[in-house]
Structure 1
Amino acid sequence: MRALLSTASGGPETLQLTELPDPTPAAGQVLVAVKACAINYPDVLIIEDKYQFKPQRPFAPGGEIAGVIEALGEGVTNWQVGDRVMGVIGHGGLASKIVVDPQRLFHLPDERSFAEGAALILTYGTTIHALLDRGHLQTGQSLLVLGAAGGVGLAAIELGKAYGARVVAAVSSEEKAAAARAAGADGTLIYGRAPFDKEQSKALAEQFKALGGRGGFDVIYDPVGGDYAEPALRAIGWEGRYLVVGFPAGIPKLPLNLTLLKSCDVCGVFWGAFAARDPNANTAHVEQLFSLWREGKIAPRVTDTFPFERGGDAIAKMAARQAIGKLVVFVD
C-alpha cells in the first residue's frame, strides 16, 4: 500500500509518499480501501504539531475518508466485505488502506460518490452540533457565519437555512461571497484581511452591527478567530451565543465586559470530543444530516480535487485559506 507520511514536523512539503506493507485488521476492526480523503484545517495543524492530538510519527494526515471495506477482523458482524463506507478517523486517511474501528463508519449511499462521502461528516457534524447543541438555534433567529465560504462555513449556511434562520455570511472576497449566496445566505459582508488596528476593528464591528439589525445576532458561528472575533462579538444580541469553532487567523482575546453587557454566552465547540463522549447523540445528528442530504437541503461542495501524489498541495491550499468548500484527494 501507499501512504503520504509525516516524518517530521513542518508544512506539506515535508510529507513523503511511501510504500508500506498492507495492514491487517485486529479483532473488532475492519480494513478499508480508501478511495477519497477530504482535507480539513486540522490536517494543516496536525503535521505542524499544533493540533490537540499529536500522533506518533510516521503518520499519514487525513481525517475524513470514503472507501470500501476490504477485510473484517474477528467478531465484526454488522459490516460486509464490499460495503461502501464514509467516516471520520482522526488521521491516517492519506493512505491506500487503513484499519478502522467500525463505530467510526457510516454506510455511503449508493447514489453518492466517494468524493461526496469523504466531504460530509466532519464539517456538517461539527456544524449541526454547534448550531443545535451549543447555539440552540431556533426558527426565525439570526445567524452570522464567519469564514462562510470554507467547508464548515458553507455547512453553517445550509444548516442555518434548513433550521429556519436568517443567515449573514462574512467572507474575504467577492468569489467567496458568491459561493455563500449560492449556498443560501440571505446577506453577505466582505471583510478586509487582518490584522486590524483599533479603527479598522471598530469599523468592522459597525458593519456587523448594521447587518445584525437592532436586535443583533442570536448566534455567531466563528471558525476563523483572530482579529475578526471581537468585532463580531460586538454585534451579538441579548443572550446571544458566540460559537468558538477554530483559529486559522489566530487565537483571539475577548474583552469579557462585552459578555456582561449583552448577557451572552461564549461557547466552545469541540465536535470530536462530543462524538467520543456521546456517540449515540452524534449518530442521531448524522442520521439528521443524511435525511437533509436526501431532501437536497444540504450537499457538500467539492470545489477542487487532487491526485494522491499531490495530497500535500491540497493541504497547502487549505493552509493558505484559499479553499472554497471542500478539497478532496483521490487516493485510489
Structure 2
Amino acid sequence: MKALICPSLGPAENLKVAEVDEPVAGEGEVLVEVAYAGLNFFDTLIIEGKYQVKAAPPFSPGGEFSGRVVGLGPGARGFAVGDRVMGFCPYGAAAERIAIPASRLARVPDGLALDKAAGLSVAYGTSLHALKQRAEMKPGETLLVLGASGGVGLAAVEIGKAMGARVIAGASSDEKLAFARSYGADETINTATDDLRARLKDLAPKGVDVVYDPVGGALTEAALRSLAWKGRLMVIGFASGEIPRPPLNIPLLKGCDIRGVYWGEFTAREPEAHRQNLAELMDWAKSGTLSVHIYAKYAVEDFRNAFEAIAKRQTLGKTLLRFGAD
C-alpha cells in the first residue's frame, strides 16, 4: 500500500511516498481504508523530533483521518465492515490503510462528508475540550482567540460562537481577519500591526474572560495582562516557535488562571467525556453550526506543499492529504 514515510527525523523535504506492507488488525483493532488524513501544526514538529510525542523512524505522520472499515481484528466491537469512521492517533494516519484500536474511532453520521469528518478530531476536539472542560466558558463571556485563522484557531472561533461567547479574533493579516469574521468572529485585531493590549482595552475594557493561545511568544504576556478578574488563559501550543515565560505576579494580582490543554492525554484519561465531545462536534458539523472549513486537499504526492503551507502559517482552516474517494 502507499504511505507517506518519515525515514529519518528532519524537515518535510526528507519525507517520501513509499510502498509499504499493509497493516494487520490486532486484538481489539479495526482496519480502516483511509480517505483523508488531516495535517496539523504538530506534524511539522513530530517529523523533526521536536514534539512531546516522540516517534521512532520510519513512521507516517498524520494524527487524524476518516475512511471506511475494511476489516476487524479479534475482539474488535462496535463497528462493521463498510462503516464510515473518523479517528485519531499520535501519528501514522498518512497511509492508505491503518490498523487502529476501536476505542480511537467514531462512526461518521449520514449527512457528514468524510473530508469534513477528517478535520474534526484534533483541531475541533482540542478546541471544544479547551473551552468546555478546561476554561469552563459560559454564555456571554468574552473569548480572545489568537492565531484565529489556522486549524485550531478557526475551530475555537466557531465553537466559541456555538457556546454563546463574544469572540475577538487575533491574526497576523487583514485577509486572515476577514476570514475569521466570515466564520463568526465579532471583533478582530491584527496582531502584526496593532498593539494587542491597547486594542483589547478598547474592545473589552473590563478584560477578556478566556484567552485561547496556540501561538505563544510575545502575544501570550499581552493577552495574560488583558484578562479580567478570574480570567483563564488556555495554553494550546507555540506556533510562533517561542515558549513564553510570563511573570507570575499577573495571575496573583488578577486572580486569574493559566491552564494547560493536552487533548491527547484527556482522550486517554477521560474517554467518556471525549466521546461526548465528539458526538457534540459531529452534531454541530452535520447541522452546519460548524463549517470545518477545508483550506486544501492535497494529493499525498504533493505533501511538500501541504507541510510548507502549515509551517509558514498560510493555511486558513484544515489541511488534508487525500488517499481515496469520499
Question: TM-score interval w.r.t. the shorter chain?
Answer: over 0.9
Query: Identity of aligned pairs, percent?
Result: 43
Aligned counterparts, 1:286-297, within 5 A: 286-297=278-289
Counterpart residue type for residue 191 of structure 1: T
Q: CA deviation at 1:141?
A: 0.8
Q: Which runs of 5+ in 1 are unaligned?
A: 194-199
Q: Secondary structure at the match of 1:32?
A: strand
Contact 1:244 1:268 (8 Å CA) reproduced: yes
Match of 1:222 among 209, 213, 216: 213
Q: CA deviation at 1:101?
A: 0.5
Aligned partner of 1:53 in structure 2 is: 53
Measure, in 2, the Cα distance between the counterparts of 1:164 and 1:118.
Answer: 25
Aligned partner of 1:302 in structure 2 is: 294
Counterpart residue type for residue 192 of structure 1: A
Contact 1:208 1:231 (8 Å CA) reproduced: no
Measure, in 2, the Cα distance between the counterparts of 1:207 and 1:234.
Answer: 12
Deviations 1:205-244 (A, max 9, x none): 212222222x100001101101111111111100100000
Aligned counterparts, 1:225-244, within 5 A: 225-244=216-235
Counterpart residue type for residue 72 of structure 2: L
Q: CA deviation at 1:36?
A: 0.4
Measure, in 1, the Cα distance between the counterparts of 2:156 and 2:77.
Answer: 36
Measure, in 2, the Cα distance between the counterparts of 1:27 and 1:234.
Answer: 50
Q: CA deviation at 1:81?
A: 1.0
Measure, in 2, the Cα distance between the counterparts of 1:113 and 1:185.
Answer: 25
Deviations 1:167-197 (A, max 9, x none): 100011111111110111100011117xxxx
Q: CA deviation at 1:158?
A: 1.1
Q: CA deviation at 1:290?
A: 2.0
Aligned partner of 1:138 in structure 2 is: 138
Aligned partner of 1:37 in structure 2 is: 37
CA root-mean-square deviation? 1.3
Aligned partner of 1:11 in structure 2 is: 11
Q: Which runs of 5+ in 2 are unaligned?
A: none
Contact 2:112 2:285 (8 Å CA) reproduced: no
Counterpart residue type for residue 111 of structure 2: E
Aligned partner of 2:256 in structure 1 is: 264
Matched, 1:207 2:199: yes
Measure, in 2, the Cα distance between the counterparts of 1:231 and 1:208.
Answer: 9
Aligned partner of 1:313 in structure 2 is: 305
Contact 2:5 2:61 (8 Å CA) reproduced: yes
Aligned partner of 2:189 in structure 1 is: 189
Q: TM-score, normalised by structure 2?
A: 0.96
Measure, in 1, the Cα distance between the counterparts of 2:115 and 2:223.
Answer: 33
Q: Secondary structure at the match of 1:281?
A: helix
Q: Secondary structure at the match of 2:25?
A: coil
Aligned partner of 1:277 in structure 2 is: 269
Deviations 1:126-160 (A, max 9, x none): 11110111111111111000000111111111111
Count, aligned residues: 323
Moved more, 79-88 or 104-113: 104-113
